[in-house]
Structure 1
Amino acid sequence: MVENKFSGKILLVEDEFNIAKLLIHNLSKAGFECEHANNGIEGLKLAHEIKPDLIISDIMMPEMDGFEFRRELLKDQELKKIPFVFLTAKGAEEDILKGYDLDIEDYIIKTSSPKVIIAKVSAILKSLEKERSKVVDEVQKAADTMVATVVPDAPPKFEGLKINQWYQPFKNVPGGDFIDYFSIDENNFVAILGDVMGKRWGAWYFAVAYAGYVRSAVRFVLQSTQEYKPSEILQKVNEAVYNDERISEVFITLSIVVIDTKNKIAKYSGAGDLPIIYKSSDQTKLIQSSGLLLGFSLSGQYEDNEIKLTEGDEIILLTDGITESRNKNGEQYGQDRLLKFISSLSLNDNTVEALKSEIMKFTDGELEDDASVISIKLST
């Protein structure tokens, strides 16, 4: 009897029923979670839905063979990173070399014993986990040595405002989300939320560095300007990013909200970000910005959105780690579900804590990206 000592989600793409049944039985018995597709077309659809830890695919299949299936995976920036193994009855050198040219991890011969197959699968996943752990350690050390953190431990106190935040890094490793706050004077407060996108294990060190870079650039602009319009702050930061070759190719979103507590006005502008949410006693609505991602163009086309506030009104900023979080069935949480949930809350509820509980319940605690939320309520 094989003990359930392994773990991982495996996508098996195999058209021969008896072989698929045998492999699924042995992999499941060993502790792996196994999903099955009959050909490359089905495999491609399932790979998008479940994001497996490993793909095992036959070569000779109808409709889309293993080689074509692999080529299609390599066209996708996310799916190409999933380790891939060919399952084959052939041992011909030409087929093996053709497979390795497609950047695969290994071959498994169909006639191999269940113990050999499980050992190979386990070895591949363990090797990848070691590599991931090494990168995580390096990122943690790099993050620890950075003078400025990209997310404050807690939001600041500001007269007339009640501020809450939630930041959950993916796999507890500092990533691309960054949060900052700035007190202009006794009446004006700035909240900043950004996200360095496109990062994965190998790029996370740079995500932390880029986040720190943009955060510092925003602070520099705030300290050196007399005009506290979010659109103008964004444009100056955008110009700095656009003209800096070290960071100009990185995709960065940024939300900036300036709140004047004396005149009860909020001004918002964003760069390629998610809409912010405005909640009052009688409505909950999205406020969209049309500004371009930072560094995408010299002119970011940023505009200010002005919001008149009354006591109890709330502004919510968030990154796509919230809306793009998925449940066990691969279903995204989504913007519509988010707006409906926020609408269901009363003005006395703690929106951040409620949303945190909602997302963690929806994902069963398994987030796929950094998740960040800022809530700002106008209070007496």
Structure 2
Amino acid sequence: MITFPEPPTSVKKILLVEDSVLFGKVIEAALLKAGYECAFCQSAAGALDLLSEEVPDLIISDYDMPGMNGFHFRQAVLLNPKINEIPFVFLTSFTDNSLVLEGLNMYALDFINKETPIPVIVSKLNNIIKSLENEHLRSVRELKIAADALNVKSIPVNAPELPGFKIYFWHKGYRGYPGGDFIDFVQVDSRYCFAFLGDIMGKKWKAWFFTFGFLSYIRAAIRFCVLDKDFNLDEIVQKINKLVCLDESLQNILSSLSLVLLDNETGEVHYTGAGDLPLIGFETADKSVSKVQSSGLLLGLLEEGFYDKQVLKMQPGDQLAIFTDGMIDIPENNSKKSDYPFFVQKIRPYLGQPHTFELIKKYVLSGIDDTNQLDDASIIFIEKK
């Protein structure tokens, strides 16, 4: 009996593109037996349709297929920024040196002959995936060392302790990489505290690199406005936006921002948003859940951001959730990714309960891992004492 090695734990789904039903089913069965999930498509066009809905961890494709051949399929994948980083392997009976070279020049990781015994094919794929995992771990480690050396952080260690509010936050980077989400708190005095959450467009280190520029502008704008005793959040965000637009190094780099000012004396929460998701508000008096929506544009999009300001009068027990889109992009039961209403539905049973945020972490956030996470995920949760 042939045994297969254990698959790497972080890789679950492989997309197999093969026009031969018989050979495709044989490979699919071998991958399933080896512990992988396998999506089987008989054409490149069908595979592209599937890739618009799901993101596998590895793509295996034949070369000679009717309609769109393997090379054209590979080119289509490379041209799509949402899927062009998925590792790609050719599995074909065409082993002409010129074809192999052309395929490898398209950044394919390997060009495997179909005549290779099935266990050897699976073993080769395991080795490829393990090499990718090792490279991933090494990259994350090097980035974390670099971040520590720079002594800059885009996520705080602790939330501030305030007399009028309880503040909690949670963050998980995409597959462990430092990413484009950032959180910070600026405590002005015993009365006022700013809290903000942002999401720079993009993933992993490419987005993470720009967080420091945005954080510097946001912190500086807040502190200068505080010195001038200017607490108008719409004006603060407009100043931040103008600074970003004038910075040549941040051209074409966009970010959302949710900025709130907590007033411990009045219990008010002042809010201005820039291209962010609607906040989720919970009122304990009537147990109602509402959306708090801003109209402002993403930071860096236009010099005039059209920012508005809102004032929420929170009563004891009222709650407010601020989060990035990574929180709503979590597939449920291997189905199509979730959306905003679904996320509200998931946390709704815990709003207004004792220790709400601990319940959300236990029953909602704990389900976010490398197998289903599509982007950085961050949340700030505020409760009026």
Normalized against structure 2, the TM-score is what?
0.89
Q: How does 1:115-194 map to 2 (within 5 A)?
A: 115-194=119-198
Matched, 1:289 2:294: yes
In structure 2, the CA distance between the partners of 1:294 and 1:87, relative to structure 1 (3 Å rule), is same
Aligned-residue RMSD, C-alpha:
2.3
Q: How does 1:206-245 map to 2 (within 5 A)?
A: 206-225=206-225, 226-245=229-248
State which drifts further: 101-110 or 253-262.
Answer: 101-110
Matched, 1:4 2:10: no
Instruction: Assess if the C-alpha contact under 8 Å between 1:150 and 1:215 holds in 2.
Output: yes
Q: Sequence identity, in percent?
A: 35
Cα distance in 2 for partners of 1:110, 1:154 equals: 54
Cα distance in 2 for partners of 1:151, 1:70 equals: 37
Instruction: Assess if the C-alpha contact under 8 Å between 2:164 and 2:267 holds in 1.
Output: no
Where does the alignment leave 5 or more consecutive residues of structure 2 unmatched? none
Cα distance in 2 for partners of 1:44, 1:376 equals: 42
Matched, 1:260 2:263: yes
> Secondary structure, in 3 states, of the residue corresponding to 1:150?
coil
Cα distance in 2 for partners of 1:135, 1:361 equals: 25
Aligned to 1:376: 382
Where does the alignment leave 5 or more consecutive residues of structure 1 unmatched? none
> Secondary structure, in 3 states, of the residue corresponding to 2:144?
helix
Cα distance in 2 for partners of 1:37, 1:54 equals: 14
Aligned to 2:272: 269
State which drifts further: 251-260 or 303-312.
Answer: 303-312
Aligned to 2:24: 20
Cα distance in 2 for partners of 1:93, 1:169 equals: 41
Aligned to 1:299: 304
Quote the offset at 1:137 in angstroms: 1.4
- CA-to-aligned-CA distance 1:143-202 (integer Å, 9 cap, x gap): 2223242222221111111111222233344322211112233322211111222123xx
Quote the offset at 1:321 in angstroms: 1.6
Normalized against structure 1, the TM-score is what?
0.90
Quote the offset at 1:93 in angstroms: 4.4
Matched, 1:113 2:109: no
- CA-to-aligned-CA distance 1:263-295 (integer Å, 9 cap, x gap): 332221111211111110222111122222211
Aligned to 1:29: 33
Which amino acid is 2:213 matched to?
A: Y
Which amino acid is 2:219 matched to?
A: R
Instruction: Assess if the C-alpha contact under 8 Å between 1:322 and 1:359 holds in 2.
Output: no
> Secondary structure, in 3 states, of the residue corresponding to 2:195?
strand
Count matched residues. 375
> Secondary structure, in 3 states, of the residue corresponding to 1:257?
strand
- CA-to-aligned-CA distance 1:69-99 (integer Å, 9 cap, x gap): 2232223212111121222222334543443
